[in-house]
Amino acid sequence: MINQKIITNIEEWKNKDLSQFCLKECVNSCCIGWKQIQMNKSQLKEIYGIPKNKPIPLMTTYFGIRNGEELYNVETDKQMRCKGYDTKTKLCKIQHNKPQECKNFPIKIEEDSILLYDSCTISRTKNFVLGKLIGIAKLNNYNLYINFESGKRTCLHQRY
């Protein structure tokens, strides 16, 4: 079972430290580089500007139901950017209603480990935000790993 304290610590870290880093230094790896993103109906309709009474567009495929909610796979554009990514502001167009996988990024919490996806900018260099995350992991007796797309993991406690 995942410790509730680690979840709270990670959410505080995301809201305070990670969000500031993302706005100032990020290369938007969470919004760019994916082939598809899962969204619910309201997120799809908001991004595409589709009225509530109109059907879901054909450029999506039905994924299934998770937590009682229908999800769809949405293909990204030719530059592999999410349709919700605003190139001018470099923010999500539906920040208030963004998909769950986007809210979770760049972290996955397991029973005794925190996985930081290698596609996130903070995983690539030693920086203050990463240092705070390492501190959270140590404080809660969790291991912190960089999780590579290949499935390989590197423990950050050994690197920093």
Domain boundaries, given as residue ranges, for the chain? 4-30+105-159, 36-94
Determine the pLDDT at residue 44.
Answer: 84
Determine the pLDDT at residue 5.
Answer: 92
Query: pTM for the complete prediction?
Result: 0.71
Given CA atoms 56, 59, 64, 69 in this order, what sign does their dihedral have? negative
Determine the pLDDT at residue 133.
Answer: 92
Q: In this predicted model, what pLDDT tens digit does every residue of 19-53 receive, in sequence order?
A: 888 777 776 667 776 677 888 888 888 888 888 88
Nearest in space to 39 (alpha carbons), one of 118, 94, 108, 120: 94
d(CA 123, CA 107): 11
d(CA 22, CA 44): 24
